[in-house]
């Protein structure tokens, strides 16, 4: 089994061109009859020795201009839902348009992995557009020319982690726990089994102190190092125990660095971080407090949120800080401002070198793990929803009120809510955010990403 990628983007950015390049000439294009909607077309794609399935959303614009917006959205949402990763195309020669931003918002809302692709990047004209693409908040764009086949190696590199991930997940027998089962809409309390190891990934920029931290944690208790079955070759897991709780620690980039000491890793590849993050339930983002919240730190935190994992931030090298009170106030302010997607994330000062703060760190790991597994009973949710609707109902859009009827949490890990709504497509993003903030505050869902899906229902 290989992974599935969806090609997403507004009309004319080059989706069909990329699809054809990836699928090659062996697949005849289907259904170009005017008036017939081309739905999402799966194709067998290949770049080098990487084989995967690709879903194209191109061609919808020809179907029915009147309902273009709604159709595109629905098709796009379905494609995103089916895929493991979305290739989000923009036109580098045009730059970022409001419609691109609209797609970005949609992708963010779904919260699955996104590879941003700046297409038509050949030549000078494309350069500005590639830079501009950063503003969409999906990290570094892959600069591509689908028409001329330039940049395919970078696209290959960006997609490779998904293949490795797929293999690893199959070996682990996981990968099915991201699905919302619509029939599971009844109350159920997620049990946290204290004998099952909690999977914790230690991630961070090179030199943040990950290896030092892990070595101090393990001390003499190091039970096992080295690649294990089911784990991607170059990621490492170590079994550990903290106050009687079994913990499985994951570390990718740090161990890799140790394996090749002479090779200074200037860049942390997002693929590495992504791999660790996807294996983990709780991610400990290790910051070097002498250089906190740099771009890569924020990128990793954002990945954690998008992958739906619980997050704890370790403020490492705290031993180097003199005015600790002042530093703490500044760091808190930065976290609130720069990481709104994981509001309330615990910031734990530690020294990996001396071991100070590690107990507090682990206590927070267990706490956010419990939150991540929490289920809010349906009755409590709907009591809360009733009071929200009374005091701050959804606005009227095009003269009609939007009705919210009922809410439930079908799934934990991370907490995922469904709200039934008379016109889901019309409910403003700001109101969804308002609901999520309210849920977070009322039910004390700190430090974990929350999901809210709107379903049509009267």
DSSP classification of residue 134: G
Q: Residue positions in the annotated binding site for GTP?
A: 9-16, 56-60, 119-122, 204-211, 251-255, 316-319
Q: How many residues does the chain have?
A: 458
Helix/strand/coil (H/E/C) assignment for every residue in 93-129 = CCCCCHHHHHHHHHHHHHCCCEEEEEECCCCHHHHHH
Number of residues in contact with ligand GDP under rule CB under 6 A: 33
Which of 40, 41, 108, 120 contacts ligand GDP by CB under 6 A? 120
Q: Is residue 16 a contact residue for ligand GDP (CB under 6 A)?
A: yes
Quote the CA–CA distance of 388 and 318 in Å, as a whole number: 42
Query: Which of the stretches 178-186, 187-195, 316-324, 383-391 binds ligand GDP when contact is defined by CB under 6 A?
Result: 316-324
CB of 357 to ligand GDP, least distance (A): 9
| Binding test (CB under 6 A) with ligand GDP, winner from 17, 341, 378, 442 | 17
| Peptide bond between residue 141 and the one before it cis (omega within 30 degrees of 0) | no
CA-to-CA dists, residue 21 to 148, 283, 339, 458, angstroms: 9, 37, 38, 44
Q: Between 17 and 296, whose beta carbon lies closer to ligand GDP?
A: 17
Of positions 14, 111, 357, 394, contacts ligand GDP by CB under 6 A: 14
Q: Give the residue with the Cβ less far from ligand GDP, 180 or 356.
A: 356
317 binds ligand GDP (CB under 6 A): yes
Q: Which is nearer to ligand GDP, 12 or 67 (CB)?
A: 12
Asked if 254 is part of the footprint of ligand GDP (rule: CB under 6 A), the reply reads yes
Secondary structure of residue 346 in the 3-state scheme: coil
CA dist 191 to 200, 246, 307, 402, Å?
18, 16, 21, 36
Question: How many other C-beta atoms are found inside a 10 Å radius of the C-beta of residue 325?
Answer: 8
Q: How does DSSP assign 166-191, residue by residue?
A: HHHHHHHT---TT---TT--S--PPP
Q: Is 26 exposed, middle or buried (0-12, 13-18, 19+ CB in 10 A)?
A: exposed
Q: Which stretch binds ligand GDP (CB under 6 A): 10-18, 68-76, 232-240, 303-311?
A: 10-18
Binding-site positions = 9-16, 56-60, 119-122, 204-211, 251-255, 316-319
**Half-sphere exposure at residue 317, Cβ-oriented, CA atoms within 13 angstroms:** 13
Min. distance of Cβ 104 from ligand GDP in angstroms? Answer: 16
In the complex, minimum distance from the CB of residue 134 to ligand GDP, in angstroms, rounded to a whole number? 19
When asked if residue 11 is in the footprint of ligand GDP (CB under 6 A), the reply is yes
Asked whether position 319 contacts ligand GDP by CB under 6 A, the answer is yes
Nearer to ligand GDP, 119 or 416 (CB): 119
Q: Which of 257, 278, 309, 413 is in the footprint of ligand GDP by CB under 6 A?
A: 257
Distance between CA atoms of 109 and 426, rounded to whole angstroms?
15
* Contact track, ligand GDP, 198-227, x by CB under 6 A: ------x-xxxxxxx---------------
Smallest distance, ligand GDP to C-beta of residue 221, A: 18
Q: Which of residues 329-368 bind ligand GDP (CB under 6 A)?
A: 351-353
Question: Phi and psi at residue 444, in whole multiples of 5°?
Answer: 55, 50
Does 154 interact with ligand GDP (rule: CB under 6 A)? no
Question: What mask of x and - would describe binding to ligand GDP in positions 126 to 145, judged by CB under 6 A?
Answer: -------------------x
Interacting stretch for ligand GDP, rule CB under 6 A, among 104-112, 115-123, 175-183, 382-390?
A: 115-123
Fill in the DSSP letter of residue 224.
-
CB 105 to ligand GDP: min, Å: 19
Please pick, from the candidates 90, 115, 146, 412, the single residue that binds ligand GDP as defined by CB under 6 A. Answer: 146
Rg of the chain (C-alpha set):
23
Burial class (CB in 10 A: 0-12, 13-18, 19+), 47: middle
Give percent helix, percent strand, percent coil of the chain, each to the nearest 5: 40, 20, 40
Smallest gap, in angstroms, from Cβ of residue 117 to ligand GDP?
10
Contact between 304 and 342 under an 8 Å Cβ cutoff? The reply is: yes
Which residues, 265 to 304, sit near ligand GDP by CB under 6 A? Answer: none
Binding site for ligand GDP (CB under 6 A): 9, 11-17, 58, 119-120, 122, 145-148, 204, 206-212, 254, 257, 316-317, 319-320, 351-353
């Amino acid at each position: 089994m290989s992974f599935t990628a969806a090609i997403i983007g507004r009309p004319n950015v080059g989706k069909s061109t990329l699809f054809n390049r990836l699928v090659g000439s062996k697949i005849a294009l289907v259904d170009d009859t005017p008036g017939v909607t081309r739905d999402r077309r799966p194709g067998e794609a290949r770049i080098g020795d990487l084989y995967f399935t690709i879903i194209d959303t191109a061609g919808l614009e020809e179907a029915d201009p009147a309902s273009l917006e709604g159709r595109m959205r629905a098709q796009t949402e379905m494609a995103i839902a089916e895929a493991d990763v979305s290739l989000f195309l923009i036109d580098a020669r045009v730059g970022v348009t409001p419609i691109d931003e609209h797609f970005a918002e949609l992708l963010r809302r779904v919260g699955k992995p996104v590879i941003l692709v700046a297409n038509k990047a050949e030549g000078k004209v494309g350069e500005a557009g590639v830079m501009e693409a950063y503003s969409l908040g999906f990290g570094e764009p892959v600069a591509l020319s689908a028409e001329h086949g330039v940049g395919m190696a970078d696209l290959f590199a960006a997609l490779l982690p998904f293949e490795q991930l797929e293999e690893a997940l199959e070996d682990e027998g996981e990968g099915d726990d991201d699905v919302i089962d619509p029939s599971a809409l009844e109350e159920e309390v997620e049990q946290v089994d204290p004998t099952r190891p909690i999977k914790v990934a230690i991630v961070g920029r090179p030199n943040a102190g990950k290896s030092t931290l892990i070595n101090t944690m393990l001390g003499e208790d190091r039970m096992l190092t080295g690649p294990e079955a089911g784990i991607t070759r170059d990621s490492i897991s170590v079994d550990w125990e903290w106050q009687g709780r079994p913990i499985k620690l994951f570390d990718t980039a740090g161990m890799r660095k140790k394996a090749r000491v002479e090779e200074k890793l200037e860049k942390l590849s997002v693929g590495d971080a992504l791999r660790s993050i996807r294996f983990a339930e709780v991610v400990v983002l290790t910051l070097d407090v002498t250089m906190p919240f740099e771009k890569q730190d924020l990128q990793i935190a954002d990945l954690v949120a998008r992958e739906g994992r619980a997050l704890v931030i370790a403020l490492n090298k705290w031993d180097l800080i003199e005015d600790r009170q002042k530093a703490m106030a500044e760091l808190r302010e930065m976290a609130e401002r720069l990481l709104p997607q994981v509001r309330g994330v615990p910031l734990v000062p530690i020294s990996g070198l001396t071991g100070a703060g590690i107990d507090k760190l682990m206590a927070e790991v267990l706490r956010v793990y419990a939150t991540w597994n929490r289920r809010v009973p349906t009755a409590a949710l709907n009591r809360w929803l009733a009071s929200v609707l009374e005091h701050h109902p959804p606005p009227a859009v095009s003269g009609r009120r939007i009705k919210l009827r009922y809410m439930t949490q079908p799934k934990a890990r991370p907490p995922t809510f469904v709200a039934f709504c008379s016109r889901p497509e019309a409910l403003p993003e700001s109101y969804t955010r308002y609901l999520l903030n309210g849920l977070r505050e009322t039910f004390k869902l700190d430090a974990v990403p929350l999901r809210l899906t709107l379903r049509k229902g009267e």
